[in-house]
Structure 1
Amino acid sequence: MKPVKHIRGASAACLLAVPLMLSGCSLFGSESAAVDPPPAAVEAQMLQVSGEDTLDTGVFAPVSSEEGNLSAAEVKEPGGSAAAGERTTVYLEDQNGLLAPVSLSFPKGKDTAMLKDSLTALVSKGAYAAALPEGFQGILPAGTKVNSVSIGQDNVAIVEFNSAFNDYNPSDERKILEALTWTLTGQEDIKGVQLWVDGKKLTEMPLQGTPLDRPLTRTMGINLPKHNALMMNSSAVTVYFAAASPDGGHQYYVPVTRFVPAGGDTVKAALSELIAGPQAENGLEMVMTEGTVVDSVEAGQNGVVTVSLTDDMFDGSTSIPEEMLESVVLTVAQNTDDSLVQIRLNGKDNVTGTNNIDYGQPVSAPEYVNELPL
């Protein structure tokens, strides 16, 4: 397993710190999404798809300024440099019941020690609970201990918990699997996850019986909407909406998996879902207007994807909401091989966000989304 990368700076658009540093609310209002497990047939299919699916794209890699491109992750963190120690991203439950990535720093140590720390952060009322931002909590049942983490054949993380792992709310079963899978597969060399409890391999989850006969990968999706229409021959895409902190004054980003018709342009389909916006009742915010049109998505040289949009609301604007632009970058990166992204808006090459970043130039998704130094 390769060493975990240290952050060079924090994205001004994707920073979630203690105290929270982001400012501003959604310009487009707030809607919500009721999250529920997918139908049984879809569930089985998503749990069995190969880890090569586009959902399993690994960590986001920032572009260094030495390469001639500007990364949002290059912006200096307010208040100074990042906290010392190993930094990684874990998936925590927010105040709306959704899983969101939060970046944490842990004491320096071996890679497997960092992995144990990252899973310990997922424990409700656990060792890191007091360090989490308001409105966030771990999804694993209180009392859960991570006995061991090892990397086995085919880069599968083998995790063993104590028996307290079994004491979860049955309705949280899928969410627990999503949090564990997305946390661990965010590491560069981990492709899947296998679970053990007190020396015994789990072939299914103990309460709802979710099958665990093969390693879990990101193909299972995350935060699936309850009312997403079930389609035959469909594929999954993951898009990033914004959400607000409990006081309503700070933004962070939440991934949501949607079903789209198979065989089409994956990135255009994902952007269309971003434009469609969140569904009912879970605190997610519109990041694009319903009048936004995706004119084209073009993959160019050096791995740069150019997204051309039209939106009359911003015709003549010199500063575009960073939530809109960051959500586009995160969504495109998630549904490609972590591509660089440049945005054209209303035919203009200069697309400056309210964070003073020019998204008309190639940028990358931040390596650490929603950053939280301990």
Structure 2
Amino acid sequence: MRKRSLLIISLAITLAVMLTGCFQGGQSLNNEEEIDPPKDAEAVHHNDSTGEQNSDEGEEKADISSDTVERQLYLMDADGMIAPQTLELPQPESKEVASQALEYLVKDGPVTSLLPNGFQAVLPVGTEILGLNPTDNGQMVVNVSDEFTNYQKENELKILQAMTHTLTQFKQVDGMKLQIDGQPQDTMPVNGTPIGKGVSRTDGINLLQPDSVDLMKSEPVTLYYPSVQGDNQYFVPVTQYVDVSDQNIYGSMINALLDGPDFKTNLQHVFNSQTKLANNPSLRDGVLEVMFSQDVLQDSKKQDGNKPVISDKVMESVVRTLTQDEAVEAVEVKVENIETLFNENGKPYNEPVTKQKFMETEKL
């Protein structure tokens, strides 16, 4: 009987020790740092073909990400057009990320060593960002030093556009106002462009006005066209008037993309010449459905097997262009008599595409 009691006591002690070890193990797991998942599908593009990331490469990227941050800057390309470029900037010590972004628009400033081929900064040499003050109505008041006034008049709109679009990448910023050495400006200092009420993206960028458009029946929209400088492929926003007399604004925007960019530019026309809209685009619950004729598909010789492939440049042009409308959260591109579309890497488009796939917005 005594032996049986001793055995029960021994088992109880053993069980208690095991349970204590389990609880201690669980606590230590909770104290470990969690691994962040990829932000979106684009994060896996850096992985190898097996889907597994090389551990050394992952450690290197972790080190880089701790010291730098991706920021979208609007710079001037070799053709004199303002276009977004995503650059790795040093992680700011404070939360003044918008101020840092503007500082990297200054010629001969810290952006110099980071400039992509053919690109240049737009703000005059020596310009200092003296302060940024947000207002309740979404305007950002930018105070710059007097060096800001040292630019050629033909660059005035480009400077305004670059500053405005760089600032409005941040979700809380809808537009900007300007001060020079603390003095509010109603006009730009060199060519007198009115800016008193503020400047926003609705004022346009890289403005073009086709001769054939009837302005009485048209509306200004911003379209995205691909361009290339060496190995650097990027998209250029262009504001132009489109005819809206025969269809909704979305259909007009698509037809303008199908017509291609103005011949005076070096922008690329990426649609097959026979491509047409199969019907008027329709918006439902934030998703805009756009259906093309089969001519939009890539040449069969370029397709992955016999999969119906739509060019990545076509998809990006369409999504970047249409999601500028706040009502459009995503775009579902379809093709007549085709069930599933694929990108150039053979991946299916199983859900509508959002603009975050190509460009992210960030909180200040």
Calculate the TM-score normalised by the size of structure 1: 0.73
SS in 1 for 2:272: coil
- Preserved contact between residue 267 and residue 335 of structure 1 (Cα < 8 Å): no
Instruction: Name the aligned partner's letter for residue 348 of structure 1.
Output: I
AA aligned to 1:133 is P
Amino acid paired to 2:313: E
Is 1:253 equivalent to 2:235 in the alignment?
Answer: yes
Q: Which has the higher contact order (CA 8 A, sep 6+)?
A: 1
The alignment partner of 2:278 has SS state of strand
Given residue 212 of structure 1, which amino acid in structure 2 is its aligned partner? I
Contact kept in structure 2, 1:344 and 1:360, CA below 8 Å: no
Q: CA deviation at 1:289?
A: 2.0
Assess if the C-alpha contact under 8 Å between 2:316 and 2:358 holds in 1.
Answer: no
Q: Indicate how the Cα distance of structure 1 residues 357 and 255 shifts in structure 2: closer, same or farther if over 3 A, else same.
A: farther
> Superposed, which structure 2 residues align to 1:174-189 within 5 Å?
174-189=157-172
1:340 aligns with 2:323: no
- Equivalent in 192, 200, 212 of residue 209 of structure 1: 192
Displacement, 1:335? 3.1
Contact 1:8 1:74 in 2 (8 A): no
Superposition map of 1:34-183 within 5 A = 71=41, 73-77=42-46, 81=61, 83-84=65-66, 85-106=68-89, 107-111=91-95, 113-183=96-166
Q: Which residue of 2 aligns with 1:42?
A: none
Aligned with 1:327: secondary structure?
helix
Cα deviations by residue, 1:30-86 (Å, 9 ceiling, x for unpaired): xxxxxxxxxxxxxxxxxxxxxxxxxxxxxxxx8x5xxxxxx5x44434776573444
Q: Matches of residues 247-326 of structure 1 in structure 2 within 5 Å?
A: 247=230, 249-262=231-244, 264-296=247-279, 297-301=281-285, 303-312=286-295, 314=297, 317=303, 318=307, 319-326=309-316
**Structure 2 counterpart of 1:349:** 339
**Contact persistence 1:203–1:213 (CA under 8 A):** yes
- Residue equivalent to 2:14: none
1:239 to 210, 223, 234: 223
* Cα distance in 1 between the residues matched to 2:218 and 2:316: 26
Aligned residue pairs total 301
User: CA-to-partner distance for each residue in 1:319-367, whole Å, 9 max, x for gaps?
Assistant: 3321111111111212343521221123213111114343352121236
Determine what percentage of the aligned residue pairs are the same residue: 28
Preserved CA contact (<8 Å) 2:129 2:142: yes
Q: Distance in 1 between matches of 2:76 and 2:261?
A: 17
RMSD over aligned Cα atoms: 2.6
- Quote the Cα distance in structure 1 between the aligned partners of 2:294 and 2:103: 44
Cα displacement string for residues 152-202 of structure 1 (whole angstroms, at most 9, x for unaligned residues): 231210101111110011001111111111111121011120001011111
Q: Which runs of 5+ in 2 are unaligned?
A: 1-35, 48-56
Q: Per-residue deviation at 1:265?
A: 1.4
* Contact 1:267–1:336, Cα closer than 8 Å, also in 2: no
1:184-229 deviation digits (Å, cap 9, x = unpaired) = 1121011120001011111101111111120111111111125454
- The equivalent residue for 1:21 is none
Distance 1:204 1:370 in 2: 31
* More helix per residue: 2
Question: Counterpart amino acid of 1:125?
Answer: D
Give a deviation string over 1:121-174, Cα, whole Å, max 9, x none.
Answer: 111221112112111111111111111112123121010111111001100111
Q: What TM-score does the superposition give when structure 2 sets the normalisation length?
A: 0.75
CA contact (8 A) 2:176 2:199 kept: yes
Q: Give the secondary structure class of the aligned counterpart of 1:252.
A: strand
- 1 CA distance for matches of 2:344 and 2:104? 32
Alignment partners' CA distance in 2, 1:230 and 1:109: 51
Equivalent in the alignment of 2:3: none
2: CA distance, partners of 1:218 / 1:186: 10
- Cα distance change, pair 155–86 in 1 and its aligned pair in 2 (3 A): farther
Amino acid at match of 1:169: Q
For 1:47, the equivalent position in structure 2 comes to none
2:278/2:336 contact within 8 Å kept: no
CA separation in 2, counterparts of 1:230 and 1:110? 50
8 Å Cα contact 1:342/1:360 also seen in 2: no
Decide whether the 8 Å contact of 1:287 with 1:324 is kept in 2.
yes
| Amino acid corresponding to residue 340 of structure 1 in structure 2 | A
Identify which of 162, 175, 189 aligns with 1:192.
175
Distance 2:195 2:77 in 1: 26
In the alignment, which of 351, 361, 373 is matched to residue 351 of structure 2? 361
Query: Larger Cα Rg: Structure 1 or Structure 2?
Result: 2
Residue type at the aligned position of 1:76: H
- CA 208–258 in structure 1, closer or farther in 2 if over 3 Å, else same: same
Worse overlay, 354-363 or 125-134: 354-363
